[in-house]
């Protein structure tokens, strides 16, 4: 069947006034949002990089340059969908995604089930793991200056459909 491959992704964005907070494709009510050329969704950006890395296809910045007006304000769910397409073009399919979000605030637990659903739907996988932790007040993330996410993705060669 071919080899499974694994990739790692990481992303950080500053929190700023005047932007919506979008994480895992879900709007999270909060007084600050993530600064970025797109919607700034660190969860999806880390997952995109993990998937691209597993397929040795570079990184999110190569495929969706931050200065390109086409991606200004774009939903990162659309970027994730494009990454899935890139994988399929190379003969791969996602198998599993695991992501941890590091944020001092807001509390993310109530939003994680919907994040998992949105990501699983976009990738066409059965289940996605999303976890959240706080930096316990340490460093810039602990001071509430930003949010970060780390992701690991597993891909495999795409299965061919059997004729019946």
Q: Is the peptide bond before 106 cis (omega within 30 degrees of 0)?
A: yes
Residue 164 belongs to some domain of the structure: no
Query: What is the pTM for the complete model shown?
Result: 0.94
Residue 100 belongs to some domain of the structure: yes
Inter-residue contact 43 to 153 (CB < 8 Å): no
Query: What domain count does the chain have?
Result: 1
Q: Write a three-state SS string for 12-60.
A: EEEEECCCCCEECCEECCCCCEECCCCCCCHHHHHHHHHHHHHCCCCCH
Per-residue pLDDT of the chain (164 residues; tens, 9 = 90+): 469 999 999 999 999 999 999 999 999 999 999 999 999 999 999 999 999 999 999 999 999 988 888 888 899 999 999 999 999 999 999 999 999 999 999 999 999 999 999 999 999 998 899 999 999 999 999 999 999 999 999 999 987 666 65
Residue 55 belongs to some domain of the structure: yes
Q: Which domain holds residue 11?
A: 5-157
Q: What is the CATH number of the domain that holds 66?
A: 3.30.1330.50
How far is residue 148's CA from residue 164's CA, in Å, rounded to a whole number? Answer: 47
Residue 163 belongs to some domain of the structure: no
């Amino acid at each position: 069947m071919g080899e499974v491959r694994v990739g790692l992704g990481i992303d950080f964005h500053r929190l700023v006034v005047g932007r919506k907070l979008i994480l895992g494709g879900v709007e999270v009510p909060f007084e600050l949002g993530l600064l970025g050329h797109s919607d700034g969704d660190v969860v999806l950006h880390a997952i995109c990089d993990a998937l691209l890395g597993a397929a040795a296809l570079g990184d999110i910045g190569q495929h969706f340059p931050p200065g390109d007006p086409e991606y200004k304000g774009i939903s990162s769910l659309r970027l994730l969908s494009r990454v899935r397409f890139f994988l399929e073009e190379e003969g791969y399919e996602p198998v599993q995604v695991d992501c941890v979000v590091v944020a001092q605030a807001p509390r993310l637990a109530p939003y994680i089930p919907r994040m998992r659903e949105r990501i699983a739907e976009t990738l066409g996988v059965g289940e996605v793991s999303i976890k959240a932790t706080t930096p316990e007040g340490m460093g810039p993330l602990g001071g509430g200056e930003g949010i970060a996410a780390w992701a690991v993705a597993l891909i495999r060669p795409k299965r061919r459909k059997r004729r019946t």
